[in-house]
Structure 1
Amino acid sequence: MRNRNVQIKFFLSPEEVLFLEKKMQVAGIKNKSAYLRTMALDGYIINLDFSELKEFINALNRIGNNLNQIAKVANTYGEVSMPEVYEFEAEVNKIFGKIDKVIRRWLNS
């Protein structure tokens, strides 16, 4: 008698079948039933939230814009006001602080 006697059916598109076969090949599993059972019972879904990364990208873009403005002033007048440089430095340090905070949270989770 069969140990596994409950059948579960689902449908895939032809593209999904090809993708499944590639994933099986990478995993080194040739038995489709064994692969699907392993993924269904032991697999997990990774849900990634990139909102913080998008915030960093936006902040880095702002820093790049500020740096370009400082460079234009330096090229035009031969000097830059130190308050602008200090403001730029503070913005960069703020971003690095946020990145450090996120990395620590990811490492602790």
Structure 2
Amino acid sequence: MPYGKDRIMKLIGYSPKEWAIISDRSKKLGMRTGTYIRTISVQGSIKVFNLKELTDVYKAMNRIGVNINQISTVANSTKSIYQKDIEDLQEEIKQLRLVVEDWLSPLQSEELL
């Protein structure tokens, strides 16, 4: 929501200990303190997802893309495609599917309050 006439401003007091906790948590999340307070007060919690596993998905997709390019280059120059290349590509796609399913099924989040 943009800042303007439709904003209701409230002054809230915090003890130094409370402010230190709020400030520390907002910094850990990489959020501005006001954004952190507003999110917590409206949503009740902040969930952080670990997306590190996406690196494996990206690498697998990149390998498949490279193989498709190599197969298409050979097909365009020789006008034929080797069955082994197709089987290798199918196996890589199957492996990618397994990685994505493993990643999506638990999709764990850490609830921070």
Structure 2 segments unaligned to the other structure (5+ residues): 1-12, 24-31, 109-113
Which residue of structure 2 lines up, in the alignment, with residue 72 of structure 1?
73
Could you tell me which of 15, 19, 23 is aligned with 1:8? 15
Judging by fraction of residues, say which structure has more helix. 1
Q: TM-score of the superposition, structure 2-length normalised?
A: 0.58
Larger radius of gyration: 1
Q: Distance in 1 between matches of 2:68 and 2:103?
A: 25
2:62 counterpart residue number: 61
The residue that corresponds to 1:106 in the other structure is 107
Please state if 1:81 is matched with 2:88: no
Gaps of 5+ in 1: 1-5, 25-35
Aligned pair count reads 83
Please give the per-residue CA displacement for 1:30-61, whole angstroms capped at 9, x wherever unaligned: xxxxxx49937x84342321121111011101
- Any conservation in 1 of the 2:64–2:92 contact (CA below 8 Å)? yes
Highest RCO, 1 vs 2 (Cα 8 Å, sep ≥ 6): 2
Query: 4+ runs of 1 displaced by more than 4 Å?
Result: none
- Structure number having the greater strand percentage: 2
Residue identity over aligned pairs, in percent, reads 23
Range with bigger deviation, 97-106 or 77-86: 97-106
Q: CA deviation at 1:80?
A: 1.0
CA apart distance, 1:7: 4.3
C-alpha distance in structure 2 between counterparts of 1:83 and 1:37, whole Å: 57
Q: In the TM superposition, what are the counterparts of 1:29-68 in structure 2 within 5 Å?
A: 36=37, 39=40, 43-68=44-69
DSSP 3-state at the match of 1:46: strand
